Structure 1
Amino acid sequence: MPDQTVTRPYDAADYLETPEAVAAFLEAAAEEDDPAFLTRALGIAARSHGMMKLSRDSGLSREGLYKALGEDGNPTLSTLMAVAKALDLRIAFLPRE
């Protein structure tokens, strides 16, 4: 009988362990020019930090974070800035190449 392969769902949040990794992940998501895609990526980055910790670090409610960064989320600029700061990131604007 062949060995059975055991798999588990992939979760990118499990691999975002440093601010540099989170920044690279979000930068790649931003390059897609799709706000919904970037919002989902930001939600993954938030989960990598821990939503309760992110709530404390950002000053935003956990429920508000889940709503803003969820499947149908549409975070405000102030939410985006607070989450970025809590993730030890800064928002930058660069010219397109």
Structure 2
Amino acid sequence: MKPTPERIVEAARDILVREGARAVTMRRVADTAGVTAMAVHKHCANRQALLDDVAERAFRRLGESRGRRAEGADGESRVFGLLEDFWTSPWAARISTRS
């Protein structure tokens, strides 16, 4: 079984992708991750911190797995390459159309 913090962030990400940011609540994430609401609060101070963790992990994964076509390029080209990869990813379109 994955560590609790990872399960919490993955649950929040799944809800975010499927239903949008408004659907991400601490209690809903806890239910989806199979933990208590207190466990979510132990690992994330509040909802915004949880959403920040989701974004940080998504960008980290994106940076690790994509954007390689910009290797060796200047910083600006690499940033724009990563942004293009992000916005052309299948789940980014779903996130950007929800509030």
Normalising by the smaller structure, the TM-score range is 0.3 to 0.5
TM (normalized to structure 1)?
0.34
| Structure whose residues are more often helix by fraction | 2
Q: Which has the higher contact order (CA 8 A, sep 6+)?
A: 2
TM (normalized to structure 2)?
0.34
